[in-house]
Amino acid sequence: MRVLLTGGAGYIGSHTALCLLEAGYDVVALDNLSNASPEALKRVEELTGKKAPLIVGDCTNEKDVTAVFEQYKIDAVIHFAGLKAVGESVAKPLDYYQNNLDATMVLCRVMPRYNCDVLVFSSSATVYGTNQEMPLREDFPTGCTNPYGWTKWISERILTDVAHADPTRSFVLLRYFNPIGAHESGRIGEDPSGIPNNLMPYICQVASGKLQQLGVFGNDYPTRDGTGERDYIHVMDLAEGHLAALKYALENKGVEIFNLGTGVPYSVLDIVHAFEKANDLTIPYRITPRRPGDIATCYADPKRATEMLHWSAKRDLNTMCRDAWNWQKQNPKGYNE
Ligand code: NAD
Ligand code: UD1
């Protein structure tokens, strides 16, 4: 059984590649390396002792996608490829709509030509928009606040319509909450370019001395300690969620949506303190104004995934903080040593 991972050299893709190889699947990655290094998959090979071939190509280009299907018999696709920086999507909406939507549509066109019906898609909790009621369930209303979010929302719509039009298709849409951490070896992890936007990579760079101080974006939210609450999930738990989703898609037709989160909200200060405790470090921080567009609280109801995928997140916050720092410490310059 061979699985094509679009965006397979990226953060979540490389961890999922490792899980799939360890579970006995063959993998092929198609990645244009716009936000990744080939080194990630070399390290996956080193960790698993198995091949993870990388084809450098673009998912928005039908020729590139077709070439992969010509070269390999592909049984299923996990579609990670996409641009993901919220702020950048506001500044460059067309780049985001073109890249993220064309990639989804090109895959939908090419797959049936090679009798490949199974696709698992990387969606995001961002599609829940400004819902107030928590925990978030898959049947809650959706809507977005930025172009990145809309590309996920529209991709979900496209995939749902395609699956309805063709009953041979099996699509699983996964709404990730906040993935953090790294493989316990510290050999693969998140390698953001420039100054990180997201909390955990920022904390790691403060811990390493690369950045001076964490800005905590607001302490006047209606939460336990006034700072924003999120559902952080270890990237290896998330990767294992893809295995469960893939098995489900291989056994069932139609389209299904699942949250991948822990169901437990932690505040920004919870994360800072857990990181300090797990790694015996101090993280200097100061309270700054709220970041525009942020919401107070966001966490999953993970029941549907537990019941239908027989998957749930296992790793605790201490493990997430330990593994994030272990990766940062071993790879202060990411993959560009
Ligand atoms: P990432 O940037 O590390 O991985 C995405 C990969 O896709 C990169 O390797 C990039 O080079 C590649 N890529 C982008 N456009 C491409 C194209 N047109 N053709 C081929 N390759 C292309 O990001 P990630 O954190 O691993 O996220 C994977 C997916 O999950 C993305 O779709 C992202 O939007 C989604 N997601 C991520 C998060 C998160 O917090 N990391 C949360 C929710 C959803
Ligand atoms: C961000 C994206 C979201 C995406 C998700 C996962 C935005 C507005 N949203 O979500 O679309 O799906 O990443 O990749 O970018 N924080 C600080 N200081 C920092 C960084 C963050 O206090 O330097 C706070 C934020 O206000 C938030 C929490 O930490 O309360 C988590 O932030 P972040 O890691 O950026 O994730 P999200 O905002 O949840």
pLDDT in tens, 291-304: 998 999 999 999 99
Which pLDDT value is given to residue 250?
A: 98
| Collapsed DSSP state (helix, strand, coil) of residue 234 | strand
Q: How far is the CA of 41 from the centre of ligand 1 (A)?
A: 15
Mutate to test the pocket of ligand 1, among 4, 35, 92, 144 (most ligand atoms within 8 A of CB): 35
Atom of ligand 1 nearest to the CA of 102: 18
DSSP summary character for residue 188? S
Question: pLDDT tens-digit profile of 35-91?
Answer: 999 999 999 999 999 999 999 999 999 999 999 999 999 999 999 999 999 999 999
Question: pLDDT tens-digit profile of 278-335?
Answer: 999 999 999 999 999 899 999 999 999 999 999 999 999 999 999 999 999 999 999 9
Which pLDDT value is given to residue 113?
A: 98
Which pLDDT value is given to residue 131?
A: 84
Q: Which ligand is nearest to the CA of 218?
A: 2
Distance between CA atoms of 108 and 254, rounded to whole angstroms?
A: 14
Residues known to be catalytic: 148
Around ligand 2, the residues with Cβ closer than 6 Å are 86, 124, 126, 178, 197-199, 202, 214-217, 228, 230, 268, 291, 293-294
Q: Answer whether 76's CB lies under 8 Å from 114's CB.
A: no
Give pTM, 2 decimals: 0.98
Tokens linked to 196: 């990180």
Q: How far is the CA of 75 from the centre of ligand 1 (A)?
A: 21
Atom of ligand 2 nearest to the CA of 200: 34
- C-alpha dihedral sign at 94, 190, 9, 162: negative
Largest CA distance in the chain: 55
DSSP summary character for residue 252? -
Which pLDDT value is given to residue 218?
A: 98
Ligand 2 atom 29: the closest Cα is on which residue? 199
Around ligand 1, the residues with Cβ closer than 6 Å are 6-7, 9-13, 30-36, 58-60, 80-84, 99, 103, 122, 124, 176, 178-179
**pLDDT at 132 exceeding the cut of 90:** no
Q: How far is the CA of 322 from the centre of ligand 2 (A)?
A: 20
Q: Which ligand is nearest to the CA of 176?
A: 1
Q: Answer whether 1's CB lies under 8 Å from 77's CB.
A: no
Question: pLDDT tens-digit profile of 83-103?
Answer: 999 999 999 999 999 999 999
* Mean pLDDT computed over every residue of the chain: 97
For 195-230, b/e burial (b = at least 16 CB within 10 A) is ebebbbbbbbbbbeeebeebebbbbebebeebbbbb
Q: Which ligand is nearest to the CA of 260?
A: 1
